[in-house]
Each structure stands twice: as structure tokens, then as C-alpha cells.
Amino acid sequence: MSLAQDARVAVRPATMAQRAVRTWPEINDPAAWVVAIILLVMPLIANGFFLIEIFASTLILGTMALSLMFLAGYGGMVSLMQLTIAGFSAYMVAVFGVSGNANISLGWPWWLAVPMALALATAFGTLGGALAVRTEGIYTIMITLAIGAAFYYFTNQNWAIFNGHTGINTVATPHFWGVNWRADIPFYYVVLAVAALCYFAVEYLSRAPFGLALQGVRDNPRRMAALGFNVNAHRIAAYAFASFVAALAGVLQVWNYRQISPGSVSVGACIDVLIIAVVGGITRPIGPFIGALIFVLLRTFALDFLVRVGLDGNRFRLLIGLGFLAIVFWSSDGVIGLWQRWRQSQRPAANRPGGGRGHG
Amino acid sequence: MDSVAQRLSAVGAGAALELRGVTRMFGALAALTDVTMTVRPGERRAVLGSNGAGKTTLFNCITGDFSPSSGTIRFFGEDVTHFPPYERIRRGLRRTYQISALFTGLTVQDNVYLACRGVSRGRFSLLRPGQNDALMHAADNLVQAVHLSAVKDQRVAELAHGQQRQLEIALALAGAPRFVLFDEPAAGLSPTERAELIEILTSLPAHIGYIIIEHDMDVALRVVESVTMMHNGRVFKEGVPEEIQSDPEVQELYLGGGHE
């Protein structure tokens, strides 16, 4: 259970008529306010490298992992194709928009290319989901992994659209209102806005009928059918929403690197998204962002650290792997779970509410 | 042949539930063989029988959890044999499970709210329910009816067994049920909880019929007006409770085995 939820329990009015049904996410957790303010004033604190390489990268990867958290945490569906959907969206921005490969790119303005990319990537993810929902558990993982692997090899071999293993370079980024939106500070705010939008959308949906029903499907699909829900339709709708979130992250990703190539949609990268979500914790939407921050910090600094202690810098994945092992060993719900248990232990027993809300 | 009664029956004014020759095979094993049964609207019936008599399989066929291998099932006149479960539920059929099938990660209130939402519109609604949401109030009332108001914000995983059984019943009473299948609702309940269960069953509105599977004859025969006795996947005997209780064959089969 979260700080915000605890506070809400405390302020709940006594009368039934005014029972606190949250209709909009409230930030009534002081820690959340501090984080929000730090994120907003980040350009004053951090230099361009930290702003983009650390924080924007974290937010983009976190948004991709958020789409997996939505499916896995609320829907009980582990999809390994979330990065593939983001990559597809990134490719579509490059194909429909402007890039250095004039013989492939159609040269549409960004405000046409981006909606097109989002629509196609959402359709792609929804179709993949429609295949995956016919299966449960490990078979869902296998099908989505197969889609991810197939897409990776397809991009490698297709030259007409995906330009083979070289990918598409020098992808144009938006310039309007006299602002270069790929300059460090404007781009950071664009990424922050999209990530915040996705975060609050997931948080909001978790208490809306659609999200609650999804959690019901996770806990007991058979009973959901016996309550009048079309379980598969619900799962496919969840894939559609998660695909849209992943597609948004894909657009940011291609703007960030200004290029997209098969290396960005490799099977290894698909699994990174799973690691990020699990390390952060898939029970709450903040988890993927925490996981992404840990991942990005390790990816960026583990190399220097390893070299300093006399090891091969390329072994940074070893650190990530060990961290992953440690976290799944000690906390099945990631860093978020560790933090929540620590908070529980800090609080006097009498204050503990009887139960948490259904983010489980 | 086209009598008024038949035509009325075709539009749903006849039987609540009509099973004709329902057979369900699991491989070579017949769990149900040629079950034919008619239950009137508002009728309350017990299905008795030893373990393996096919009682729960019967429920699974009626709700569509399994489809029957052959035979037809009509619900208020409509042939629902090949409907998915959710279509049958939306038509007013409900069921409870022998082993509680609840949403353990959600609160009691959310469980009941989902049950109310499942049989109404807006299952995919992206908007959170507001303060005057009708279904929220319906869920509140239902939670109150099964005496769970005190724990309505607790996660279901934290509830006692008896409370989970109460919730199991609440989920089956959401919306406007026309016919309910109760699968051993008294299993594992204390005597006090049994009394509460009997009170809930006997105070259901008269138009709501049900079939109850129950091993506890004290519960079963107090809340029903008719009994179907099953044995080895077949209907063995039908009658009013007194007949069944005094039937020597039934006593030998079922009541004789130390059930007193």
C-alpha cells in the first residue's frame, strides 16, 4: 500500500454519502511532491549529459516498462514484445517522416508521421495481443518473444522499408514555434510530459472499471466470465492501451537518438524491458521508472566503476544480472516492495490500515 | 402443436431452466449422462448426490464453463447451449463456486463492484466511478446484505474463510439475477454462519429461483421445495424433500452412509 493511499484512508469522511472515491489521482504524499518538483527543475540542476543520457533515457525506458507493468501487474500477462512495439513505432516515425534515407522516408511532417506511427504501432501490438491472449503464462511469454524475435530478424533483412542492418539515420525532429524540440531542455520537458501523462493514465485507470476488471482477470479469469465479462476482449483492450503507451515511448526514443536500427529492437533489448519492470516492481506504476533509473545508472557508470576496480568494463551486464538476481531473490515485487516493507516496519503497528488497495 | 403455453414458453415465460439429454464426456468417462431437468422460474431446488455424482459438472454445463458433449440447455426459453459463460450471466444466470473463486488482490468492495459492473454497461469504462455512482451504491448495499460492511476495504486475501464464503454469495447476487446456482455454499461454515446463510437464501425475492448443491441436509432441505437426486452422472430421483428423505433407495445410497 502506498503513502497516498494511507493518507486517503486517514482523511476519509465519516459519512457514507461522501465516501472518498478518488476520481482523480491525488498527490498527497510529500515524497511524491519532492520528486515532482525535482523533476520539474531538473534543467537548473543537471547538465545536458545528465538531463538527456540519464533522466530522459530513464523516462523513455520507464514508459516502455510501464506498458509492461500495466499488462503484467494489472492483467497478469507478461509480454516481451513491448520494446518491439516501441521499436515499430520508432521505425514508422522514420519511415513516414523525414530522415537521411530519402529513398525510404516519405517526408511527412512530424505532426502527420507521429499519429500514423502511433496508430500503426497500436494496431500491431493489439494484433499481437489478440494472438497472445489465447494462451496463458509461459506460452504468452513465448508468443510475444517470438513476435519480438521475428521483428528483429525482419528489420535486419528487409531493405525496402527498414533499410536492413544499417537502419534509418538522421531522423528529423520537430521544430516549431521557433523552438528546436530536440535541444536538451525542451526535449527533456517533452519526455517528462509524455512520461507523466502515461504514468497518471495508468494510475487513473487502475481504479476505473476497465482497470479494476483487468485486475479481476488477473486474479481469476474464470470468475470474471461468470460475472458477465468477456475476458479475452478485456485482455486485448489492455494490449491496445499498453501498445499505445509503448508506441509513445518509441516516438521519444527515435527523436532521442535520431536514428533507429535493428540493434535497438534486439531480443536482448526486449528482455531489458522485462528486467527493468521486475527490478523496479510491477505492482505499481512508479516501479518501472525506478527500475529504469537503476538500469540507466548501471549502464552508464558501471563501466567506469568496473574499470576502476580492475575489471573489464564491458561486464556491466554482470552487475545488472547480479542486481536482478538479488532483487527477485529478496523481493518478488522489486525495489518498490523493499521500500514498502521498510516503511511498514517504520510505522507503529496501531497505525497500519487493515488492507491495501488493489494494486496487488 | 402450437399451443399458447408452448409459444409463451418459447419467449421465456415457461421454464427458467430446461435441460434436455445433457451429456458431458471427459475422454471416455461420462461425467453426465442424458440429464433432463426442468426448473420453474422462482423454484428452489437441491441437487444431492455423493462425490462424483456429476453435480458440479452439471453446474459447469449450465453456466458454460464447459460445454456439454450433447444435449441442449435453455434458459428462460432461449437456447444457450453454445453461448459463452458471460452471455449467459448477462441474461440473469449466476453461480457460486465450491472453492471460493474471488479476486484476492482486490478489496471486498471492489470485488462486489466488479460483480455489479459485469452485468451492466460500461465494463470497459475508462472513467473512475464518481461519488454518486449507482453501481457503487448497489455494491455498498450488497456488501451490507452479506454482513461484510466492516471489512469492505480489506483485501480479500486477508478475510476469514466464512467471510470469503459470504462474499462468494454476494458476487452471485449482483445486478438482477433470475436464477442462481449455489455450489456447496455452506462448506466450512460455522453453525452461526450457516444460520446467516439460511437467512440469506430464504429471504431472496420470490422470483429468484436457485439450485443448491449441499451435503448438509439441514441446510439443503430447509431452503428448497424440490430435490433432484443424482447418481453416477444420471438423475436418479426427483421429488419434494419429504419424499426424497423417506425414499428407501435414496437412504441406502446417500443418507445411509453415516450422514445423520
Q: Which residues in chain B touch residue A208, judged by CB atoms under 8 angstroms apart?
A: 125-129
CB contact under 8 A, B151 and A354: yes
Beta bridge partners of B37: B19
SS (H, E, C) B220-238: HCCCCCEEEEEECCEEEEE
Confidence tier at B188 by pLDDT (50, 70, 90): confident
Q: What is the DSSP letter of A264?
A: G
Confidence of residue A288 (pLDDT cuts 50, 70, 90): very high
Query: Given an 8 Å threshold on Cβ–Cβ distance, is A220 in contact with B102?
Result: yes
Grid cell, residue B66, equals 464447459
A279-288, B106-115, B172-181, B211-220: the lowest-pLDDT one: B211-220
Range of the domain at A238: 49-264
User: What pLDDT is stored for residue A90 in this prediction?
Assistant: 94
Q: Has residue A5 been placed in a domain? A: no
- A193-211 pLDDT, tens digit per residue, is 999 999 999 999 998 999 9
Distance, in Å, from the CA atom of A99 to the CA atom of A109, rounded to the nearest integer, reads: 11
Q: Does A344 reside within a domain?
A: no
A210 and B125 within 8 Å at the Cβ level: the answer is yes
Pairwise CB contact (< 8 Å): A222 & B89: no
Put simply, whether B227 touches A (Cβ < 8 Å) is no
Q: Are A235 and A129 in contact (CB under 8 A)?
A: yes
Query: What is the share, in percent, of chain B residues with pLDDT greater than 90?
Result: 28
Interface residue A25 vs chain B (CB under 8 A)? no
User: To 10 degrees, what angle do helices A334-346 and A316-330 make?
Assistant: 50
Interface predicted TM-score (ipTM): 0.85
User: What pLDDT is attached to residue A350?
Assistant: 45
Q: What is the pLDDT of residue A14?
A: 36
Q: Which residue intervals of B119-160 are DSSP H helices?
A: 134-145
pLDDT digits (tens, 9 = 90+) for A85-139: 999 999 999 999 888 777 887 878 888 899 999 999 999 999 999 999 888 888 8
pLDDT-derived band at B67 (thresholds 50, 70, 90) equals confident
Angle at A117 between CA A113 and CA A120, to 5 degrees: 135
> With left for phi above 0 and alpha for psi between -120 and 50, is residue B229 left, alpha or beta?
beta
* pLDDT in the model for residue A190: 92
Residue A80 lies in a domain: yes
Q: Which of A223, A231, A232, A244 to mutate to test the interface with B (most CBs of B within 10 A)?
A: A223
A228 in contact with chain B, both atoms CB, cutoff 8 A:
yes
Task: Give the pLDDT score at A328.
Answer: 78
Tell me, yes or no, whether A340 lies in a domain.
Answer: no
Distance from C-alpha of A91 to C-alpha of A265, rounded to nearest angstrom? 10
Q: Does B123 touch chain A (CB under 8 A)?
A: yes
Q: Flag whether pLDDT at A354 surpasses 50.
A: no
B89, A226 contact by CB (below 8 A): yes
- Cα(A1)–Cα(A18) distance, integer angstroms: 22
Contact between B200 and B146 (Cβ < 8 Å) = yes
**pLDDT recorded at residue A348:** 59
User: What are the residue ranges of helices labelled H in chain A?
Assistant: 3-11, 30-45, 48-49, 57-69, 75, 82-96, 110-132, 138-157, 184-205, 209-219, 221-225, 231-257, 267-280, 286-308, 316-330, 334-346
Inform me whether the C-beta atom of residue A237 falls under 8 Å from chain B C-beta atoms. Answer: yes
CB contact under 8 A, A210 and B85: no
Domain annotation covers residue A241: yes
What's the predicted TM-score (pTM) here? 0.84
Query: What mean pLDDT do residues A345-360 have?
Result: 49
Structural domain includes residue A201: yes
A97 inside domain: yes
- Let me know if residue A107 belongs to a domain: yes
Number of domains making up chain A: 1
Cβ A219–B107 below 8 Å, yes or no? no
* Pick from A283, A289, A206: nearest CA to A249: A289
